[in-house]
Chain A
Amino acid sequence: NAGVTQTPKFQVLKTGQSMTLQCAQDMNHNSMYWYRQDPGMGLRLIYYSASEGTTDKGEVPNGYNVSRLNKREFSLRLESAAPSQTSVYFCASSTGSDQPQHFGDGTRLSIL
């Protein structure tokens, strides 16, 4: 039982490059989320998808786009990476919007 799987685990990009972070869950959860974690700031919500076919902005959506490809998969895209987007990115899922969220192991992204 894999839970929430994120790929890649590590990535280094140059400023201006684009990249898609992948997330898949095998728990038949309806809701999925993307967060970024920066030192001393906890987790901040970038985008979420309350159910298949819907996506909504979170606290820090600028510079990102998302796609809820199907019930299992929720991807995060950086169209033109900036050094300020250097962070650890976490994907999470839950059965419903007010239920406990289960997290992947994260993607460590560095932008030079």
Chain B
Amino acid sequence: GEDVEQSLFLSVREGDSSVINCTYTDSSSTYLYWYKQEPGAGLQLLTYIFSNMDMKQDQRLTVLLNKKDKHLSLRIADTQTGDSAIYFCAETLFGSASKIIFGSGTRLSIRP
């Protein structure tokens, strides 16, 4: 079946890099997304990658996609306190109208 899995928690020191990992089961995904949710707010689209790409970089964010292993990662360089949030991995499936599968989210906390 379709499933997207993430670890629930990650704690990093301010200034270090954060790497949030995600695995998915359906190989027919078209787009894979990273969303950020701050407390009391909705989901903010951070970045996304098309399934035929291996890597995408956008300022402090680097997305890596390993299609063979069905593994997606988000690296945040020079992590700041403002990066504290829940990060959701999600995928859309080819041929499935309007269907996005979300992971349960990884809560990133920053320690001084």
Contacts and interface: CB of A to CB of B under 8 A. Distances in A.
Interface of A: 4, 31, 33, 40-43, 45, 48, 50, 56, 58, 90, 92, 97-98, 100-106
A42 B44 contact: no
Contacts of A4: 42
B77 interface: no
B43 A90 contact: yes
Prevailing SS type, chain B contact patch: strand
B99 interface: yes
Interface of B: 4, 8, 30-31, 33, 35, 40-45, 48, 88, 92, 97-100, 102-105
A50 B97 contact: yes
B53 to A, nearest CB: 15
B87 to A, nearest CB: 12
Contact of B41 (A100, A101, A102, A105): A105
A92 B105 CA distance: 18
